[in-house]
């Protein structure tokens, strides 16, 4: 959600902070701010809008300070206004604070500081902390932070500066919001996410929850909040490259990421399926334990949940294990019944989604084995799980997930195959043959992306339907989660209301939405439910709606049931979803383009949702 960066060193840091914020901007972009500290005092700039607006607002600052920190905001407490943008300063001008996360007891904290006579200048939870620091300060910022820490409820990573100790930034972390240290020569960075400083250093250390971190130009000290013992953390080399964060010639990150899908899927498979053999290292459960599993529960949010819904069919089909997939934010408040033989799969691109993390923690407490599927090494979800399977999609910047979705479905496919192989429900020959077809998918996705006829057709569809008020998506079986994903893509970047429904359910309600011109997108690829889909499409056409069908190359029947047919390469039905979603991503992209919208930064959304 919010992004934070801090710098302590010998170089003037205004530009370093601004550049770091630009690399973090995809996480939150409703406002931004920075503070620079030098002997003359604290200088602050804040602006509503993108970091470019902050750049302008900060143009007048001195720019000689060698200690500074910045913030990109995704509003939680308090509207999108400059006065709610971080950092916050104490009234005496000596302290500055910024935060990613939430103080859940903010009402009480704000009331307390107001009672003590502080004038609150914002509606945020974070501002309370700067006043508390000013009150509690005893000459040692780190110790003051330590004393206040138990009073702060919620989940957060914050940074603080005090002018009395101008050589340092002190930070603290509770629960999942990440905080990473970047170690340079005579300089130290702090950030919520490594891309903020990767241009400067790749040597990183991760701050653990329950720790206070003290960063100076000379180095960094990690202290446990409870007993103040010194903690050691290995210096690791960050593997996300900044090159991937550049648009590489594409007009948007989303388009670039759509085009990276062949590589993302190929890298996710890589050595896991090789010469007819499947290896799924990292799963954290022995083959014996996997044979004991009697139920699988998949939890996730948004796109990640859709990948789980697709995986559900495959696990049931190939491994014969009862599988459910549920929204993490709902499941965490259900009294979910399961036992140690339940395998919980937590899917999250970012590995930070608050609800998914909470759901997996509850599952662990109740005795389930938890395997994470994530794209981010060392993320909170990866660390909390018994085993981790990484998608290898590379950093995804576009808020609308694309390459991580196809990589997640790929990984779910590998997992379903693995379970089938281990449990003996699939023969080695079946595993080898499905694995070969899976390995051919990157080439088939590339064919879709290179298909000029498909591109022209999607352009025409975007021209024709971009101004429609509503889209209905219909699918059955594995086509359903693909419809759900296609509908989510369209609504999040074009703001056109969409609904995705099991085609068989249409008669039970959504058919009432169909008018003469309603566009209905159907995933009608070859499978055992094709005939059923065809009948549903007839029902749609009988109401005068326009059917846009995604169908398999070579299918000769679909033309009778759809006005527009998007052809995708043929593969076995279980693998069609990975190919079927690609034209739906591109259709959504083109429609948003026709409407002149910023697809990389859809309104109100953040790439990573670290609040409940």
Residues 356 and 568: their CA atoms lie apart, in Å, by 33
Instruction: Select from 188-196, 234-242, 571-579, 603-611 the region that touches ligand AGP (CB under 6 A).
Output: 603-611
CB 59 within 8 A of CB 234: no
How many residues touch ligand AGP (CB under 6 A)?
16
580: number of Cβ within 10 Å: 25
- Please, are residues 225 and 146 in contact by the beta-carbon 8 Å criterion? yes
Least distance in angstroms from the C-beta of 528 to ligand AGP: 29
Length of the chain as a residue count: 612
Distance from C-alpha of 496 to C-alpha of 490, rounded to nearest angstrom:
7
Nearest-angstrom CA–CA distance, 371 and 297: 10
Let me know if 607 is a catalytic residue.
Answer: yes
Residue 530 or 589: the one with the smaller Cβ distance to ligand AGP is 589
| Minimum CB distance to ligand AGP smaller for 89 or for 245 | 245
Candidates 27-35, 40-48, 295-303, 508-516; binding stretch for ligand AGP (CB under 6 A): 295-303
Closer to ligand AGP by Cβ: residue 202 or 332: 332
Residue that has been written with the tokens 């195959």 in this structure:
417
Binding mask of the shown chain, residues 556 to 595, with x at each position contacting ligand AGP by CB under 6 A:
----------------------------------------
- If binding is defined by CB under 6 A, does position 481 make contact with ligand AGP? no
Residue nearest ligand AGP by beta-carbon distance: 302
User: What one-character DSSP code corresponds to residue 595?
Assistant: T
303 binds ligand AGP (CB under 6 A): yes
Out of 2, 13, 301, 483, which one is annotated catalytic? Answer: 2
Q: Is 491 a catalytic residue?
A: no
Best CA proximity match to 488, nearest among 382, 548, 400: 400
Q: CB under 8 Å to 204, separation ≥6 — which residues?
A: 180, 181, 182, 183, 194, 235, 236, 237, 238
Using the rule CB under 6 A, which residue among 33, 177, 262, 302 binds ligand AGP?
Answer: 302
Strands (E), 90-162: 95-103, 154-162
Mask for 489-528, x = binds ligand AGP (CB under 6 A): ---x------------------------------------
Contact set for ligand AGP, span 379-418 (CB under 6 A): 399-401
Nearer CB in complex with ligand AGP: 38/267: 267
State which of residues 90, 144, 194, 350 lies at the interface with ligand AGP (CB under 6 A): 350
**Which of these ranges, 284-292, 299-307, 530-538, 576-584, lies near ligand AGP under the rule CB under 6 A?**
299-307
Residue 356 makes contact with ligand AGP by CB under 6 A: yes
Q: CB 231: neighbour CB atoms within 10 A?
A: 15
Stretch that binds ligand AGP, among 449-457, 515-523, 557-565, 601-609 (CB under 6 A): 601-609
E-strand stretches of 524-606: 546-552, 564-568
Q: What is the DSSP string of 195-255?
A: GGTTTT--EEEEPPTTEEEEEETTEEEEEETTT--EE----EE----GGGGS-TT-SSHHH
Report, in Å, the least distance between residue 244 CB and ligand AGP. Answer: 17
Please state whether 598 falls in left (phi above 0), alpha (psi between -120 and 50) or beta: beta
What are 61's two structure tokens?
């600052």
Q: In the complex, what is the shortest distance from the CB of residue 410 to ligand AGP, in angstroms, rounded to a whole number? A: 15
Where does this chain touch ligand AGP (CB under 6 A) — which range of 152-160, 249-257, 543-551, 604-612? 604-612
Q: Which of 348, 407, 498, 536 binds ligand AGP (CB under 6 A)?
A: 348
Partners of residue 301 on adjacent β-strands: none
Residue whose tokens read 């948003």: 592
Could you list the residues that contact ligand AGP (CB under 6 A)?
A: 301-304, 348-350, 353, 356, 399-401, 492, 605, 608-609
Task: Give the residue numbers annotated as catalytic, written as ranges.
Answer: 2, 607
């Amino acid at each position: 959600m919010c992004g934070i960066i801090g710098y302590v060193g010998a170089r003037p840091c205004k530009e370093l902070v601004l550049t770091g914020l630009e690399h973090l901007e995809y996480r939150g972009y409703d406002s931004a701010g920075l503070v620079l500290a030098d002997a003359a005092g604290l200088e602050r700039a804040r602006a509503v809008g993108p970091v470019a607006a902050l750049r302008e607002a900060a143009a007048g600052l001195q720019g000689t300070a060698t200690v500074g920190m910045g913030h990109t905001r995704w509003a939680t407490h308090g509207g999108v206004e400059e006065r709610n943008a971080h950092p916050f300063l104490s009234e005496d001008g000596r302290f500055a604070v910024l935060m990613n996360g939430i103080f859940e007891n903010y009402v009480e904290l704000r009331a307390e500081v107001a009672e003590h006579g502080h004038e609150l200048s914002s509606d945020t939870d974070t501002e309370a902390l700067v006043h508390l620091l000013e009150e509690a300060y005893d000459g040692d910022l780190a110790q003051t932070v330590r004393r206040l820490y138990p009073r702060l409820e919620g989940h957060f990573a914050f940074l603080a500066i005090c002018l009395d100790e101008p050589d340092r930034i002190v930070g603290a972390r509770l629960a999942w919001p990440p905080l990473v240290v970047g170690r340079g020569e005579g300089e130290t960075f702090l950030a919520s996410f490594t891309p903020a400083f990767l241009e400067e250093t790749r040597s990183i250390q991760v701050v653990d929850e329950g720790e206070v971190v003290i960063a100076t130009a000379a180095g960094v000290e990690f202290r446990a909040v409870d007993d103040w013992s010194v903690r050691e953390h290995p210096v690791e080399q960050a593997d996300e490259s900044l090159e991937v964060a550049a648009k590489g010639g594409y007009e948007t990150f989303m388009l670039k990421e759509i085009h990276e899908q062949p590589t993302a899927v190929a890298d996710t498979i890589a050595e896991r399926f090789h010469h007819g053999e499947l290896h799924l290292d990292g799963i954290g459960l022995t083959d014996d334990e996997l044979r004991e599993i009697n139920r699988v529960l998949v939890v996730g949010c948004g796109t990640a949940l859709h990948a789980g819904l697709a995986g559900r069919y495959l696990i049931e089909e190939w491994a014969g294990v009862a599988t459910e997939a549920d929204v993490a934010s709902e499941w965490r408040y259900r009294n979910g019944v399961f036992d140690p033989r339940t395998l919980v799969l937590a899917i999250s691109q970012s590995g930070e989604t608050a609800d998914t993390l909470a759901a997996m923690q509850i599952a662990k407490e109740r005795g389930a084995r938890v395997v994470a599927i994530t794209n981010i090494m060392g993320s909170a979800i990866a660390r909390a799980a018994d085993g981790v399977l990484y998608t290898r999609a590379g950093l995804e910047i576009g808020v609308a997930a694309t390459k991580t979705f196809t990589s997640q479905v790929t990984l779910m496919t590998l997992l379903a195959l693995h379970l089938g192989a281990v449990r003996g429900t699939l023969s080695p020959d079946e595993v080898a043959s499905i694995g070969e077809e899976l390995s051919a998918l990157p080439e088939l996705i590339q064919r879709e992306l290179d298909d000029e006829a498909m591109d022209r057709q999607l352009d025409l569809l975007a021209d024709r339907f971009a101004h429609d008020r509503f889209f209905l998506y219909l699918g059955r079986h594995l086509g359903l989660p693909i419809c759900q994903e296609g509908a989510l893509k369209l609504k999040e970047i074009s703001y056109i209301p969409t609904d995705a429904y099991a085609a068989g359910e249409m008669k039970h309600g959504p058919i009432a939405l169909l008018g003469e011109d309603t566009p209905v997108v159907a995933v009608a690829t070859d499978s055992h439910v094709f005939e059923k889909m065809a009948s549903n499409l007839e029902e749609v056409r009988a109401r005068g709606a326009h059917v846009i069908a995604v169908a398999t190359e070579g299918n000769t029947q679909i033309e009778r049931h759809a006005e527009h047919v998007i052809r995708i390469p043929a593969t076995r039905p279980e693998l069609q979803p990975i190919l079927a979603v690609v034209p739906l991503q591109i259709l959504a992209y083109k429609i948003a383009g026709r409407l002149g919208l910023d697809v990389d930064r859809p309104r109100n959304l953040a790439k990573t949702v670290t609040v409940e």
